[in-house]
Structure 1
Amino acid sequence: MQRGNHIHSTLALLILLVIAGGCQPNTDPAPDDTAYFPLQTGDYWIYQVTQENYSLTGGATTTAYQVQEKIGSSFTRSGQVFFQVEESTRTSEKGNWQINAIRTVFKSLSEVVSQENNVPTRSLVFPISTNTSWNSNTYNALPDSLPLRYENISRPFAVNKLAFDHAVSVVGPSDSTLIGLTKYQRVYALSVGLVYRENTALAYCQSTPDCIGKGVIASGSRQKWALLSSNRLP
């Protein structure tokens, strides 16, 4: 009998261990939020840009070109590492790059700040959460911006022929009415960086009864960036 009791006790212990093991919390490390905005000297990103401009008199015009953002160098000031980002454009894939802007960017555990023409703006704020929102003009004298916030956190995202398993969107207040449409969106992929951006500001026709409420664009613009290539791509 003692041997039988011992066997039963051993089996019961094994069952409890299996159950306890199945109830253990997930100990996988949480992703580093700052990895959505990687910064390292030599990194580059090339985007296909589509620019649409609208007017009632001139109609719609569409321009396509490419933009390259490349981290050329870095320096340290007061213990903080700053990266110099060179922005270049070209009219086609075979054209020569022409630098049209240089800015500095730094990243900390709490935010990403970009400075161009001595105007610092907050691009991202950490932690990444649906409860996080911020004013991009906190560190400059410009009027407060409409609050930016996160949505679609760690969701798949596809652009062109590229697909990313973990991406997050930064959005501003979008407004779609009978009068106009506004949209602000930035999409960042984990360990890659910015993969898509859009700025839209359209005003719909209000001048005649025939166009009111029909979404006829009277003026405005829409610009989209879509990632083509990067040294950050797997």
Structure 2
Amino acid sequence: MRKRSRFYNVLILAGLLGIVGGCQTNNDPVPDDSAYYPLQTGDYWVYQVTEETYSLTNGATTQAYQLQQKISNSFTRNGQLFFQLEESTRQSAQNDWQISATRTVYKSLSEVVSQDNNVPTINLLFPISATTSWNINTYNGLSDTVALQYQNIGRPFATGKLSFDRTVSVVGPNDSTLINLTKYQRVYAQNVGLVYRENTALAYCQSTPDCIGKGKIDSGTRQKWTLITSSRVP
């Protein structure tokens, strides 16, 4: 009887350990979505920017330069921590940086909001999920509704000479028709921040039957940012 009793006790103990182990598995740490948009004074990101401009009068022109975003300061307002972000440009690595803009950005448990010329826009909305969507202009008076959503959550991404193991893409209007092409894309890497950005708005030729549907660009712009170095990249 004692041997059988001990056997049953062992079975009960094993069952309890299995239950406890299962509970621990379910309580794994939740990924920190805000790590895709790190904010710390002194951080900087340098991008190679290319801009293509199309017009009927001047044809197509291309401009290339470098752009730096640097967090120069932080302050608290109404209990919320804000970061001051300086944006500078230069033609190449041999030139000095020239400050071109200053904006503020803050991050909360629910969102990341940047403010440029007193116009706040929502960059990220948490949680990061395929079902999460938002209007970038929710907090400003602009009438345009720019709907954003997440794609490619947690996937690797390579740009230029850099590659990142975990990224998320924010996409907006991405439409291609015989009349125009529009594209909005941002790619954020975990613990790094923005690594790629694209804005495209092109209008195709409609003036003659010969050019309709041929992809000939009449007007518009295409701008791409590619991260080339950062304080957060080894």
- Judge same fold: TM > 0.5, yes or no: yes
1:170 corresponds to which residue? Answer: 170
Give the counterpart letter for 1:224 in structure 2.
K
2:118 corresponds to which residue? Answer: 118
Rounded Cα–Cα distance in structure 2 between residues aligned with 1:77 and 1:22: 44
CA offsets per residue over residues 146-198 of structure 1, 9 Å max, x none? 21111111111100111111000001021100111000000000000000000
Pairing 1:139-218 to 2, within 5 Å after superposition:
139-218=139-218
Identity %: 71
Distance 1:104-1:48 versus aligned 2 partners, 3 A rule:
same
Give the counterpart letter for 1:96 in structure 2.
D
2:88 corresponds to which residue? Answer: 88
Give the counterpart letter for 2:183 in structure 1.
K
1:48 corresponds to which residue? Answer: 48
Matched-pair contact (CA < 8 Å) for 1:130–1:150:
yes
Normalised to the residue count of structure 2, the TM-score between the two structures is 0.90
For 1:137, what is the secondary structure of its paired residue? coil
Q: CA deviation at 1:22?
A: 9.3
Structure 1 stretches (4+) deviating beyond 3 angstroms?
20-28
Q: CA deviation at 1:226?
A: 0.3
1:66 corresponds to which residue? Answer: 66
Rounded Cα–Cα distance in structure 2 between residues aligned with 1:103 and 1:146: 21
Rounded Cα–Cα distance in structure 2 between residues aligned with 1:77 and 1:23: 41
Rounded Cα–Cα distance in structure 1 between residues aligned with 2:58 and 2:193: 37
Q: CA deviation at 1:118?
A: 1.0
For 1:141, what is the secondary structure of its paired residue? coil
**Higher mean displacement: 116-125 or 81-90:** 116-125
CA offsets per residue over residues 104-162 of structure 1, 9 Å max, x none? 11100101111111111111111001111111111111114221111111111100111
Q: Which runs of 5 or more residues in structure 2 are unaligned?
A: none
> How big is the alpha-carbon RMSD for the aligned residues of Structure 1 and Structure 2?
2.3
Q: Which runs of 5 or more residues in structure 1 are unaligned?
A: none
Rounded Cα–Cα distance in structure 1 between residues aligned with 2:116 and 2:225: 19
CA offsets per residue over residues 87-108 of structure 1, 9 Å max, x none? 0000111111000100011100
Matched-pair contact (CA < 8 Å) for 2:137–2:146:
no
Q: How many residues align?
A: 234
Normalised to the residue count of structure 1, the TM-score between the two structures is 0.90
Pairing 1:9-48 to 2, within 5 Å after superposition:
25=25, 28-48=28-48
For 1:51, what is the secondary structure of its paired residue? strand
For 1:200, what is the secondary structure of its paired residue? strand
Q: CA deviation at 1:30?
A: 2.5
Q: CA deviation at 1:27?
A: 5.1
